[in-house]
Amino acid sequence: MTYLKSIFFLLLFQAFITSFAHAQVTVGAYSNGILTQLAVGTDPEEKFFGEGRLFAGDFLNRYFGAEAIGQYNFHQSEWYNASAGLMVGYYDFDNGARVGIPVLLAFKPISNHRAFAIMMEATPMFNGSLGLRGNFGLRYTIGKN
């Protein structure tokens, strides 16, 4: 039952942010070599943007996980954005809840197509003990010119 509550909360949170931000929707996939995350978020070109992530398991990693992330762009340019924020998440493993401070660098390598970005993220996390997660991913903003 807690899974359904977590999914409902993340979907409601994402709908709330998207409706009030009047933003385009982004979709992304992130991986750290062990776990893969699928993401949906608001327009990352705004000063403040949000993202919801779900773990995409396989035969070896059957764990459920969900995260809500709020980010602030502290440097924006035509070729890259740098942002940091706050992450809260729930996981089947590792004592349940986590909080973290994701620092994200988004490269926009195609000059004619800035909707596509290559992501690098480092997230110091806390769930009773400290940890560090590094992600690499791809993100696409739907509806962006």
How many other CB atoms sit within 10 Å of the CB of residue 52? 24
Q: What is the CATH number of the domain that holds 115?
A: 2.40.160.20
At 45-72, the pLDDT tens digits run 899 999 999 887 776 677 788 899 999 9
3-state secondary structure of 128: coil
* pTM score: 0.76
pLDDT reading at 19 higher than 60: no
Arithmetic mean of pLDDT, 99-128: 92
pLDDT tens per residue, range 87-109: 999 887 766 788 999 999 999 99
Give the total number of structural domains in the chain: 1
Q: Domain limits at 72?
A: 2-142
CB atoms within 10 A of CB 29: 17
